[in-house]
Amino acid sequence: MPVMSGKRALLDLLKQEGVTVMFGNPGTTELPLMDAFAVEHEIRYILGLQEAALMAMADGYAQASGGLAVLNLHVAPGLGNAMGMLYDAQKANAPVLVTAGQQDLEYLAQEPILSADLPTLARPFVKWAAEVHRAEDLPLYVHRAVKTALAPPAGPVFLGLPGDILKNDAEIDLGEPTRIAPRIRGDAAAVDAAAELLGKAERPVIIAGDVVAQSRAHKELIALAEAIAAPVYVEFVPNSASFPASHPLYRGMMTRTQAGVREVLEKHDLLFSVGGDLFTWSLPSSIDPWPRGLKLIHLDTDPWQIGKNFPAQVAILGDPQATLPEITAAATVRMSANAKSAAARRLKSLTEAIRKEREAFCAKARALAGKTPVQPLALLEAIGAVLPKDAVVIEEILSSAPGIRSLITSDDAQSYFGLRGGGIGWGLPAAIGIKLALPDRPVVALVGDGSALYTIQALWTAAHYRLPVVWVIFNNTSYRILKQRLVMLRGLAEQADTFVGMELNDPPIDFIGLARSLGIDAHCAKTVHDATDLIGKALASDTAMLIDVDMERGYKPM
């Protein structure tokens, strides 16, 4: 076996796994690795100035590329700083190999500065966590970690890397990578049972989840929706375009309340959840969202999600791209002539109703275009009108987001990325990782002012590596989403019209100055036209830009 250093072996192992980019922020325990990078020309090191921002970059890169992202952090505080965004990556099923330097094993028992039980810290938010204690075991651990991260359901994993493991030489057999084929076909009997229910359903509805985009199953889901004439809603907190927004059966998102869901579901006799989250609430309610008698078919790559909150009459563990064609074919065979005629009538009436709703919604947004401060709906509609068809939109605008995918076209699996986990600060740096993964597509990030401030340091990384991302800050000088939810509680804050800890206006935050200090061109927009004109200029010149938009500040009603 060849004798080599741990640092050389680690980089060679990552190249075996197809890695071309590593995100990181180094410290003393990573110095051996940084020494190896001095002569490394195949893996590009992307420096970030804060670990939370780096974690979101790696998350965005993994989601957009559909492959592995690698992030190297520094000991316990570095891992700790990344934990909020690691939670988001877990919820998004992002395959990220997170590594952190550890103090040398030879004196770890003395509890040196910055050391901790790193795998235990990471374990709640990853699929698997371990620490390498012998250089000879590096191949085993790296290959196991990558295999686990990419296996369905994908997700982050963690490896601790002691400094002496990277420094020292050893006889190391690099081995070979393993990949688990992702196209898991659902159980044949379950497919038949689902087809039986679908063939008899008179008022079916579909909820599409991120698994659809992750498995690149748009075509397959469209075929099913059209065959059974079912409207398609997307899950509450999507981080991808799980169904084409321009399709005539796309209904957007249900109102994110138990009462709103109940109102929609009562119109249907069968729900088919294709990787959909049932349901992620923000506030509790005494209302049961599930109508009595509603049947559920639940298909997912994660058995934990199937029937988690509501019992499924048919539960199918399977990949949507591999399984949906079989379900569609079997359901079509089981539909009687009368059922097919009813589906054709339903398809015609549904698509016409959705078309009218969509036209009315866009007209409402356009009617607000002349108002100042800028109205969220008006800005979203105008942005959708100026973006090129291949644009990628990153969204973390929270209270300004309702209706975004009806106003900004997002049709392919890489056209839209949103904040799934809810840990704010993700969107601004995620756009950088997404641009690295999709360098030939325009990338525009729509971010709230409160969210942007969690990870504003990420702008330096974009400037340093000349990454032409456009950020649009929806600046309402507050944590507006919290005001809205506090109003819903109908308590003292609503009565007094006082919201403690939710204002960001004294003193006002200078986003223009912040961005320029970090090397990014920045401008203020007071009107919808100002904003879209600046977006157009940035995209035409292929340069990075931050646009601070003066947004409407009202918070009633939600």
Q: Does 281 reside within a domain?
A: yes
Per-residue pLDDT reduced to its tens digit, 325-344: 999 999 999 999 999 999 99
Per-residue pLDDT reduced to its tens digit, 379-432: 999 999 999 999 999 999 988 888 899 999 899 999 999 998 989 999 999 999
Q: Does 470 reside within a domain?
A: yes
Bigger pLDDT: 7 vs 488: 7
Q: Are residues 55 and 124 in the same domain?
A: yes
Q: Does 215 reside within a domain?
A: yes
Q: Does 182 reside within a domain?
A: no
* For residues 299-322, average pLDDT: 97
Q: What tokens were used for 204?
A: 């079916």
d(CA 486, CA 558): 10
Q: Does 358 reside within a domain?
A: no
Contact predicate 247/231, CB 8 Å: no
3-state secondary structure (DSSP) of residue 84: helix
What pLDDT is attached to residue 484?
Answer: 85
* For residues 304-326, average pLDDT: 97
Q: Are residues 468 and 349 in the same domain?
A: no
Q: Which of 14-23, 46-55, 449-458, 480-489 has the lowest mean pLDDT?
A: 480-489
**Pairing mode, if any, of strands 3-5 and 469-475?**
unpaired
Q: Which of 84-93, 108-117, 126-135, 312-321 has the lowest mean pLDDT?
A: 108-117
Share of the chain above pLDDT 90, in %: 86
Q: Are residues 403 and 492 in the same domain?
A: yes
What pLDDT is attached to residue 479?
Answer: 86
State how many domains the chain has: 3
* Cα–Cα nearest to 340, from 189, 191, 194, 198: 198
* For residues 150-155, average pLDDT: 97
Bigger pLDDT: 502 vs 177: 177
Per-residue pLDDT reduced to its tens digit, 470-481: 999 999 998 888
Bigger pLDDT: 105 vs 532: 532
Q: Are residues 97 and 236 in the same domain?
A: no
pLDDT band, very low/low/confident/very high, at 519 (cuts 50, 70, 90): very high
Q: Are residues 294 and 423 in the same domain?
A: no
Q: Are residues 386 and 272 in the same domain?
A: no
What pLDDT is attached to residue 253?
Answer: 87
Per-residue pLDDT reduced to its tens digit, 98-114: 999 998 888 888 888 88
Per-residue pLDDT reduced to its tens digit, 158-205: 999 999 999 999 999 999 999 999 999 999 999 999 999 999 999 999
What pLDDT is attached to residue 450?
Answer: 94
Chain mean pLDDT for the chain = 95
- Find the distance separating the first CA and the last CA of the chain, reported in whole Å: 65
Bigger pLDDT: 1 vs 444: 444
What pLDDT is attached to residue 480?
Answer: 86
Q: Are residues 19 and 167 in the same domain?
A: yes
* For residues 114-138, average pLDDT: 96
Q: Are residues 160 and 233 in the same domain?
A: no
- Answer whether residue 558 shows pLDDT above 60: no
The domain containing residue 482 runs over which residues?
368-550
User: Exposed/middle/buried for 254, CB within 10 Å: 0-12, 13-18, 19+?
Assistant: buried
Q: Are residues 340 and 229 in the same domain?
A: yes
Q: How many residues does this entry show for the chain?
A: 558
Share of the chain above pLDDT 70, in %: 99
Q: Does 181 reside within a domain?
A: no
Distances (CA, A) of 407 to 71, 184, 230, 246: 34, 34, 22, 10
Q: Does 107 reside within a domain?
A: yes
* For residues 201-214, average pLDDT: 97
Domain boundary among 142, 171, 200: 171
Q: Are residues 18 and 48 in the same domain?
A: yes
Q: Are residues 163 and 277 in the same domain?
A: no
Residue 428, H or E segment:
helix 427-437
Q: What is the CATH number of the domain that holds 443?
A: 3.40.50.970
pLDDT band, very low/low/confident/very high, at 256 (cuts 50, 70, 90): confident
Contact predicate 321/183, CB 8 Å: yes
Q: Does 31 reside within a domain?
A: yes
What pLDDT is attached to residue 395?
Answer: 96
What pLDDT is attached to residue 481?
Answer: 86
DSSP codes joined into one string, 35-72:
HHHTT--SSEEEE-SSHHHHHHHHHHHHHHHSS-EEEE
pLDDT band, very low/low/confident/very high, at 557 (cuts 50, 70, 90): low
Q: Are residues 320 and 258 in the same domain?
A: yes
Domain boundary among 107, 137, 171: 171
Per-residue pLDDT reduced to its tens digit, 37-48: 999 999 999 999
Domain boundary among 322, 353, 384: 353
d(CA 238, CA 263): 21
pTM above 0.85, yes or no: yes
